[in-house]
Amino acid sequence: GAVVSQHPSRVICKSGTSVKIECRSLDFQATTMFWYRQFPKQSLMLMATSNEGSKATYEQGVEKDKFLINHASLTLSTLTVTSAHPEDSSFYICSAAARTGGEKLFFGSGTQLSVL
């Protein structure tokens, strides 16, 4: 199946710093990628849709100035958590759409962000 690589897998940072998370589709091109956030023992909540070459589309309640998304190429989307605070600590997961048979969306392995 299609492979999505997400990096880093874990990051610990001080409050007020910015953190960048990368999501790469390794063996296919993805015009659209998605960013999810998951708090402990909860479901995945869609944050935004990342579109190659255009602005991201954010879900209601997600601050676009805090969660900066850049989709500069057909294989790379980045999520930057700006001025991180402890309440931003969460598990962040990206996904990308691949037109391979029936399975449409493939997910990265996630990034555990801990803000001290």
Partner 1 sequence: GIQVEQSPPDLILQEGANSTLRCNFSDSVNNLQWFHQNPWGQLINLFYIPSGTKQNGRLSATTVATERYSLLYISSSQTTDSGVYFCAVEDISYNTDKLIFGTGTRLQVFP
Number of residues that bind partner 1 (CB under 8 A): 26
Q: Is 1 in the site for partner 1 (CB under 8 A)?
A: yes
Q: Is 105 in the site for partner 1 (CB under 8 A)?
A: yes
Whole-number minimum distance, CB 64 to partner 1, in Å?
17
Pairing of strands 90-100, 4-7: unpaired
Q: Which is nearer to partner 1, 78 or 111 (CB)?
A: 111
Nearest-angstrom CA–CA distance, 49 and 32: 7
Q: Which is nearer to partner 1, 6 or 78 (CB)?
A: 6
Residues 6+ apart with CB under 8 A from 20: 78, 79, 80
Q: Which is nearer to partner 1, 34 or 67 (CB)?
A: 34
Of 116, 114, 98, nearest to 26 (Cα)?
98
